[in-house]
Amino acid sequence: MTSVGQGIDRADARAKVRGEAQYAADTPVAGLVHAFVVTSALGHGRVTAIDASAARTVPGVLAVITPDNAPRVPGATKKKVSFDRILQVVQDADVRYADQPIAVVVADTPERARAAGEALVVSYAPSPIAVSLAQNEAAGRKPAKAGPRAEPDSSRGDFAGALASAAVKVEQTYTTSIQHHHPMELHGTIAVWQGNDALTLYDATQGVFPCRERLAGAFDLPPEKVRVISHYVGGGFGCKGSAWSHVALAALAARVVKRPVKLVLTRQQVCSLVGYRPRTIQHVTLAAAKDGQLRAMRHDVISETSRFDEFVEPSGLVTRMLYACPNVTTTHRVVELDVPTPTFTRAPGEATGNFALEVALDELAYELGVDPVELRLKNYAEHDEDENKPWSSKSLRECYRRAAEQFGWRHRRPLPGSQREQHLLVGWGMATASYPARQSAASARVKRDRDGNFVVQAGTQDIGTGTYTILAQIAADALGVAVERVRVEIGDTALPETPVSGGSQTASSTGSAVKRAAEALKQKLDALSASDRSADTELVAELKTEEKPDRKRFSTHGFGAQFVEVKVDPDLGVVRVTRAVSAFATGKILNVKTARSQFMGGMVWGIGLALLEHSRRDERSGRIVTRDLADYHVPVNADVPELEVIMLNELDPHVNEIGAKGIGEIGITGMPAAIANAVYHATGKRVRELPITLDKLL
């Protein structure tokens, strides 16, 4: 009996389409009141006075919390792990960025709380402001890390010597814009205190346990005194991976009014209070022999961060490992600006860095006069040259072959502008996709209930990727039962501990724990006599998994190949993606239906990154001016053609217990570069700045 790999419908589908799925901010709580965050109209300086007299006259107002009367939050600026954030919870009068929280109003309805918040009269003392990465590029400094674990700089071989002797060189600068996450479900928290020393949070979070740890630290509580519940998450894309200021503000407000408090950010506040993808400036140098063999590569990345915290967009990491090259140098620098802290966003580092590297490779292919696929095969990395390890598995050659064949790449005419359809210019482009296969320690519990069915329990969250479904499939196969006999309970710190749902690691981490717990329970069942096996007593198996011991001997990555056709209107500069074929090798496919959805979702993100998504910041005030979905453009049906996904079911005995590498984010990598390369093939104009808007082509 096998359910893993089958295209089983989502276990949560019916609840979601019927509106029965309970999201955090929809949780019914008795005695609930509402909070509204008031944010700064100033980009940098100090609040000199807040006049709350008018706000307090609004009917139903329970509290106006400002730096003058806010209780202290002792751990607001103390971080335990790298993805913790320094919180702004109205503890002082300093304004560090535009739209920073400066007050919280609590009232009996959300409308009254907002009306009272907007009635506050705030006086400021402004300071000089700097928010432009381009104007402050020279002020970049070396960060502590690039991403959670990697060193910011790397070097192997003799880059300078190899560059000097190379026959062909490409040296260019590539830039990517600020992007915001904009999940459909806004960030929302309900905070409920039990006395002064126990807190329950219903929070829209990608990590119930990291949220618990951050709030426990902020309020100086033991972690076991904080419970976080998040049964469904309506999109996160990275911005719900950390506990942000509004979560602590909800808890602070609930403590002040001594009632449960709901705080939901507005769409506009999402642009300042929960992170974003930072702007990057990337300098890439490639050098090759006449036969196309890479001799030297250099990738220098500059990105923005806030002055009070640090986030690094690790765009150079992909260049360290993706291709065979003896001489490689990468660097990361951050520029401190008067802006909010950026955060993980849809394949952080990999998506932005892949764009720069893969467009540079396309430029090199044209300089050499070779096919872009052939150039990549010429420099195929048989092992990870950065870590000097073999791959746990790698089927990238097969991805190139399958996708190119399905796309019809052999019919491509290399000359830019040589393919037309009536008055439209037609371009074909391709790029490599890759993403690390991460795994963290996780725990799970599997029980046989009194009815003879099974319950899987793990604290992990379902952020829309199908976690409820694949955990049931994994457990069912390990137990040797039909998947209909397995129920999954997740999204609660009262359950066994699991990592954040980010970095495409939930299946590999929590899934591995579920498999081993289910196997342990099956061993218990097999050891019972026939009469005991049918008794109406509960049986439980719980365990924690770490990385597989042999995993450390291998480099673990997923790979893919993206092929894209675009059509460009030469009169209007409008670009349309009209066809896309992509092949991915990410270990075992656990559910072909949810997997296809995740790959396609990533490809759509890639279309958005390449052509549409761009947050605009007013450099005078520091405010984001594209603050809602009317101004911030994302792909809609008319922007997305039929996407063809080829999934290679790859055998990898080393990566983890279930053989899955994770697929949530790999689909975005390679797509922006493939589109940019197709635009060049169509028009002969090389665009090195994302998004590719019509003004860059006219």
User: And the tokens for 634?
Assistant: 């994302």
Quick check: helix, strand or coil at residue 436?
strand
User: And the tokens for 504?
Assistant: 């495409």
Query: CA torsion 409→415→420→425, rounded to 10°?
Result: 100
Alpha-carbon distance 270 to 236, whole Å?
12
For residue 290, the number of C-alpha atoms closer than 13 Å in the C-beta half-sphere is 0
Active-site residue, selected from the candidate residues 185, 657, 665, 689 = 665
List 190's β-bridge partners, or say none.
202, 262
Alpha-carbon distance 293 to 365, whole Å?
11
Alpha-carbon distance 96 to 126, whole Å?
11
For the sheet with 280-288, list strands across it.
154-156, 328-337, 294-306, 280-288, 168-176
List 407's β-bridge partners, or say none.
none
Peptide bond into 691 cis (omega under 30): yes
Neighbouring CB atoms inside 10 A of 142's CB total 12
The answer to whether 264 and 211 are in contact (CB under 8 A) is no
The answer to whether 667 and 237 are in contact (CB under 8 A) is no
Alpha-carbon distance 364 to 379, whole Å?
12
Which one, of 317, 329, 324, 296, lies nearest residue 156 by Cα? 329
Alpha-carbon distance 621 to 617, whole Å?
8
Which one, of 348, 360, 126, lies nearest residue 237 by Cα? 348
Quick check: helix, strand or coil at residue 571?
coil
Q: 252 to each of 60, 80, 109, how far by Cα in Å?
A: 19, 20, 18
Alpha-carbon distance 445 to 301, whole Å?
43
b/e map of 26-44 (b: 16 or more CB within 10 Å)? ebeeeeebbbbbbbbebbb
The answer to whether 276 and 182 are in contact (CB under 8 A) is no
Neighbouring CB atoms inside 10 A of 691's CB total 22
484 assigned to active site: no
The answer to whether 191 and 199 are in contact (CB under 8 A) is yes
The answer to whether 410 and 373 are in contact (CB under 8 A) is no
Q: 72 to each of 117, 321, 598, how far by Cα in Å?
A: 21, 47, 43
* Helical segments of 330-466, H only: 350-368, 372-378, 396-407
Query: In degrees, to the nearest 5, what angle opens at C-alpha 339 toward C-alphas 333 and 342?
Result: 60
Q: 486 to each of 469, 509, 543, 619, 634, how far by Cα in Å?
A: 10, 19, 18, 54, 37
Query: In degrees, to the nearest 5, what angle opens at C-alpha 678 toward C-alphas 676 and 684?
Result: 90
List 347's β-bridge partners, or say none.
none
- What are phi and psi for residue 272, nearest 5 degrees? -125, -20
Which one, of 492, 548, 556, lies nearest residue 515 by Cα? 548
**Residues ≥6 apart with Cβ < 8 Å to 478:** 514, 515, 518, 519, 522
Quick check: helix, strand or coil at residue 298?
strand
Residues marked as catalytic:
665
